[in-house]
Amino acid sequence: MSAVKFFDVEVNATEVRKVELRLGKQRKQAPTAIMRALNRAAQSARTAATKEVRQEYHVRAKDVNKTFRTYKASRKKLAALVVSRDHKLPLDKFKFSPRTRPKRPPKGGIKVAVKKDGLKTLAHAFLVNAPGGTMIFQRVGRPRYPIRRLMGPSVPQMIGAERVRTQFFNKARETYQKRLDHEIRRLLEVSK
């Protein structure tokens, strides 16, 4: 099982003091404003990570989202964390052709695309119709058995890719700043 912390933000005392100065008379509400901004940024990071992974890989949003675990910020603990934890995904969770097991093995093998850069041929792979759907297997030795299910990367590995990581982290940082400004403006308008 692999895991990656892809959004880990903790606000320090200096940041809290800056927000308190901006709030003036409402300075006691600074932890609430920061907490709300952090939690919104964590949610934004999850959404952006799913979007970026799906632009790079042939994977369903459902398979990406089920790996996330969010630890929200509170007034006492001004830190938010989003973790993706999962095993490797089977190749049949990605794009492959043919989609169902044909009567005769396809010439050249089965074509699989993990990334959106085209299909690759797996010459010695074969399809198995199972109750959960069509699965891709390969023989391990000379005899008919044993066989093993072919696996692709895990969601944390996909999220950890450099291009994917920088894209959604920038989005989360931008969301945090916008939401913090919004929360401060809202608190100042309420105090008028």
Q: Which two tokens stand for residue 19?
A: 């927000």
At residue 191, does pLDDT exceed 80? no
What is the number of residues in the chain?
192
Q: Which two tokens stand for residue 181?
A: 């400004």
pLDDT digits (tens, 9 = 90+) for 26-81: 889 999 999 999 999 999 999 999 999 999 999 999 999 999 999 999 999 999 99
3-state secondary structure of 41: helix
Question: What would the mean pLDDT of 150-163 be, rounded to a whole number?
Answer: 91
pLDDT digits (tens, 9 = 90+) for 173-190: 899 999 999 999 998 887
For residues 168 and 146, which has the higher predicted lDDT (pLDDT)?
Answer: 146
Q: Which two tokens stand for residue 71?
A: 């630890």
Task: Give the pLDDT of residue 76.
Answer: 94
At residue 164, does pLDDT exceed 90? no
3-state secondary structure of 96: strand
Helix H segments across 66-161? 155-159
C-alpha–C-alpha distance, residues 108 and 138, integer Å:
14
C-alpha–C-alpha distance, residues 84 and 86, integer Å:
7
Q: What is the pTM of this model?
A: 0.84
Question: What would the mean pLDDT of 158-171 be, rounded to a whole number?
Answer: 85
Q: Which residue shows structure tokens 């800056």?
A: 18
Q: How many CB atoms lie within 10 A of CB 150?
A: 20
Task: Give the pLDDT of residue 192.
Answer: 66
3-state secondary structure of 100: coil
